[in-house]
Homo-oligomer: A and B are copies of this chain.
């Protein structure tokens, strides 16, 4: 597939000087318009062979455009020196580096370097590479679905020309420092890199984010090509304006409640209870067990994410406290989730949850979570049907990456009956320190009880996976609920920690 980038493309100086100034101005203009509109980010990926002008192009981008509106990320997992990133799932570093809407993010190396050189250096096997490619495809698809414009450049150079180029760089005193031992090593591995890159590019050139091949030998050809591609892609997207492609939502099969009216939540016996004395004894035992498990040597190589969702007033806060009572306060972090802030809205919606991924040995407890997307945002129409329909898949993919990154994911839905909720709402209005816990909004949500119920059932159907299953908690009795939660946590930890022993 690289043949067209070995033809010896060239642009003469006259043509370059004729076209470039106008193009630069147009590019700058488009960049400012992007900032003004601020409704999508531009993401530029730079990859390719050593000596094919990747560094120069990165430099040029900052020359042509306004560098104040560009952020560059050169981090990769394989060659990383960042302790912070090493503690998190693979894709965490890239999520963190995403530009906000209206800005440009340039990724140098990026996720593709990890896959490519993982294979070239034999650090990953084919199967692992396939998994990574799957994650990449899902990641880019998600970004595109939320409006990002992704341009992926591969800078190519034939083996012979690479050699020539490295030698000529070395010969010039000014540029000699740019040729490293790694470059020559990579030159020796040219065929291997070529082979792996070809496979990788073929598998990741999608309709939404195709690769653009650029022959790297002639600087003028390279520059003009890159500047043009960026300009035209950006211009045409800007011109399309507000009308974002909502892939005809009607084509998707609608989610309908079962025709016989029987839903999963109906099958729960919400009134399960436990004797108070029994509760006290078992609580102490379970908390002790949980404490021990989080101090297990194997836990240092893992991390834990706990999700608490449930009806309003279902007792999430109380349950969380019974869990944290068993934990070292220096090891956990509770993240209460409300509506996203201004800064968070400028990023893909999952971004703020990626950010909170715990380090190894850490515990993050979510009081409400990313499931708001398919619950409150669905019911209250804060996002389109297409958006929340897509979210099931995005969520499953997110959790799958967490699990692959050695994070244990445990999710609780605390279910109470409508009558029990009414009782608790009234109680809250009357009790001093609980009065902050009840708002107008709670009463409004209550009116939509049935809509929420549909949303919850769909959520559980679509996101209870083997690696991150939902646990439904019958919560009309708070004591029963707390014990079930603690027991589930202990079992989840035990099975994962012992597994990693064997």
Query: A residues bordering B, Cβ < 8 Å?
Result: 25-26, 28-29, 32-33, 35-36, 55, 58-59, 61-63, 66-72, 74, 81-84, 106, 108, 174, 177, 288, 295, 317, 320-321, 324-325, 328-330, 333-334, 336, 341-344, 367, 432-433, 436-437
Q: A318 CB to closest chain B CB, in angstroms?
A: 10
Contact between A433 and B341, CB atoms less than 8 A apart: no
Contact between B108 and A59, CB atoms less than 8 A apart: no
Q: A45 CB to closest chain B CB, in angstroms?
A: 14
Q: A49 CB to closest chain B CB, in angstroms?
A: 18
Contact between B25 and A433, CB atoms less than 8 A apart: yes
- With both beta carbons as reference points, the residue of chain B lying nearest to A326 in the complex is identified as B59
Total identical chains: 2
- With both beta carbons as reference points, the residue of chain B lying nearest to A346 in the complex is identified as B341
Provide the residues of chain B in CB contact with A321, threshold 8 Å. Answer: 62-63, 66-67
Contact between A62 and B25, CB atoms less than 8 A apart: no
- Could you name 15 residue pairs across A and B whose Cβ atoms are closer than 8 Å? A26-B433, A33-B436, A35-B436, A62-B329, A63-B325, A66-B321, A67-B334, A68-B320, A68-B336, A71-B334, A72-B330, A81-B83, A82-B84, A174-B288, A341-B343
- With both beta carbons as reference points, the residue of chain B lying nearest to A28 in the complex is identified as B433
| Given A108-B330, A341-B341; 7 other pairs, CB 8 A cutoff | A32-B436, A63-B321, A68-B317, A68-B320, A68-B334, A69-B336, A341-B342
Contact between B32 and A177, CB atoms less than 8 A apart: no
Contact between B36 and A329, CB atoms less than 8 A apart: no
- With both beta carbons as reference points, the residue of chain B lying nearest to A367 in the complex is identified as B68
Contact between B329 and A58, CB atoms less than 8 A apart: yes
User: Interface residues of A: mostly helix, strand, loop or mixed?
Assistant: helix
Provide the residues of chain B in CB contact with A343, threshold 8 Å. Answer: 341-344
Provide the residues of chain B in CB contact with A29, threshold 8 Å. Answer: 432-433
Q: Which of B82, B108, B295, B329 contacts A177 (CB 8 A)?
A: B295
CA distance A367 to B71 in the complex (A): 14
Q: Which of A108, A295, A324 has the most CB of B within 10 A?
A: A324
Provide the residues of chain B in CB contact with A83, threshold 8 Å. Answer: 81-84
Contact (A432, B25) CB under 8 Å given A329-B59, A330-B108: yes
- With both beta carbons as reference points, the residue of chain B lying nearest to A308 in the complex is identified as B68
Contact between A32 and B324, CB atoms less than 8 A apart: no
Which 7 residue pairs are nearest across A and B when measured between Cβ atoms? A83-B83, A32-B436, A29-B433, A74-B330, A68-B336, A58-B329, A68-B334
Q: Which of B62, B177, B295, B330 contacts A58 (CB 8 A)?
A: B330
Q: A364 CB to closest chain B CB, in angstroms?
A: 12
Q: Which of B69, B70, B84, B324 contacts A67 (CB 8 A)?
A: B324
- With both beta carbons as reference points, the residue of chain B lying nearest to A70 in the complex is identified as B334
Q: A46 CB to closest chain B CB, in angstroms?
A: 10
- With both beta carbons as reference points, the residue of chain B lying nearest to A65 in the complex is identified as B321
Contact (A433, B32) CB under 8 Å given A324-B62, A341-B343: yes
Provide the residues of chain B in CB contact with A177, threshold 8 Å. Answer: 295
- With both beta carbons as reference points, the residue of chain B lying nearest to A27 in the complex is identified as B433
Provide the residues of chain B in CB contact with A68, threshold 8 Å. Answer: 317, 320, 334, 336, 367
CA distance A343 to B325 in the complex (A): 29
CA distance A276 to B427 in the complex (A): 79
Provide the residues of chain B in CB contact with A58, threshold 8 Å. Answer: 329-330
Provide the residues of chain B in CB contact with A317, threshold 8 Å. Answer: 66, 68
CA distance A35 to B320 in the complex (A): 18
CA distance A55 to B70 in the complex (A): 45
CA distance A243 to B58 in the complex (A): 53
Q: A102 CB to closest chain B CB, in angstroms?
A: 11
CA distance A236 to B33 in the complex (A): 51
Provide the residues of chain B in CB contact with A329, threshold 8 Å. Answer: 55, 58-59, 61-62, 72, 106, 108
Provide the residues of chain B in CB contact with A74, threshold 8 Å. Answer: 330
Q: Which of B324, B333, B344 contacts A71 (CB 8 A)?
A: B333
CA distance A43 to B174 in the complex (A): 54
CA distance A32 to B431 in the complex (A): 13
Provide the residues of chain B in CB contact with A72, threshold 8 Å. Answer: 329-330, 333
- With both beta carbons as reference points, the residue of chain B lying nearest to A323 in the complex is identified as B67
Provide the residues of chain B in CB contact with A367, threshold 8 Å. Answer: 68
- With both beta carbons as reference points, the residue of chain B lying nearest to A29 in the complex is identified as B433
Q: A50 CB to closest chain B CB, in angstroms?
A: 15
Q: A110 CB to closest chain B CB, in angstroms?
A: 12
Provide the residues of chain B in CB contact with A63, threshold 8 Å. Answer: 321, 325
Provide the residues of chain B in CB contact with A33, threshold 8 Å. Answer: 436
Contact between B28 and A320, CB atoms less than 8 A apart: no
Q: A357 CB to closest chain B CB, in angstroms?
A: 15
- With both beta carbons as reference points, the residue of chain B lying nearest to A71 in the complex is identified as B333
